[in-house]
Structure 1
Amino acid sequence: MSEIRTGLGWDVHRIATGRKMILGGVTVPCEFGLEGHSDADVLAHAITDAILGAAALGDIGMHFPDSDPRWKGCDSLVFLRHARDLATQKGYRIVNVDSTIILERPKLKDFRQTIRERLAETLELDVDRVSVKFKTAEKVGPVGEGRSAESQAIVTLEK
């Protein structure tokens, strides 16, 4: 009988001018980006945490602390690959990823397939095992006021 595990990830970053908007490893043309120690890819961070959580391997901050200068400006897909590799070393395979980006603007629907493909490639999955959804916060709270972006992810692992 196989063992199934589920992990939940969440991340938030402030909106910042002078930064790139990178979501799921894809640069989205925008007049602002997200603030963070790495490239601030809120989606990659949430998925990384979901994988680590499902495999009981801690969280992204344990593996890539923002106090470590090695990770300054780092491509967050490095974090995602690391989580994938750690889960694989424990005998798990990623079954699927379901994720949501919560952001008032820009509208992201035209980037869905590109983001899914980049994540699938990084995680070594078929693209039909990666879901990316987009929501707004309906003008409520920091996300709704355009001050931040959030992402949520759930990952299923099987051994």
Structure 2
Amino acid sequence: MQFLLLARLYRAGGEKFKSNKKIIFCRNFEPFSRMRVLTVTTITDCPTNVFASPPFFCSYALLFPDVGTVVRLVLVAPLLEEWIMRAGLHAWLLQRTAALPALLVCALVFSALHLGAGLMAAMLVFWPGLLFGAIYQRWRDWRLCALIHGLCNLLVIDVCVS
């Protein structure tokens, strides 16, 4: 899938074009050389058959992921988050309380960890947090939760890019 972007182009040094005109280009279209996009917003009208706008949860980093972003979202973040949440907090709570309160508290804390990405991201990850917690309670293996977490993040990247 493709979508159109309305962007203000800047030269590589950071100075604006003198005309300061906005131009339209498709996502898979090569931008001009030695320029970079600083501000981006989606638009809906296009003379060709393209996808009008990305899903609402796709940030710029998810729309145009580089290798570092993919490694961070698919490998590093799931391993660290699940190690802290499941092997740490969830296991600790299961020793001190019943399964349901432990599951709900961990899902809420998991959501709170994602507040840095915005309130919408925090609300959206509550449900996967419940899923990862249920998986941990069933099999008691945080690495399985990290694997599924990484696959979920990979799915989100795929939805946003395609």
Tell me the TM-score normalized by structure 2: 0.29
Q: TM-score, normalised by structure 1?
A: 0.29
Q: Which has the higher contact order (CA 8 A, sep 6+)?
A: 1
The structure where strand makes up a greater share of residues is 1
Structure having the larger proportion of residues in helix: 2
Larger radius of gyration: 2
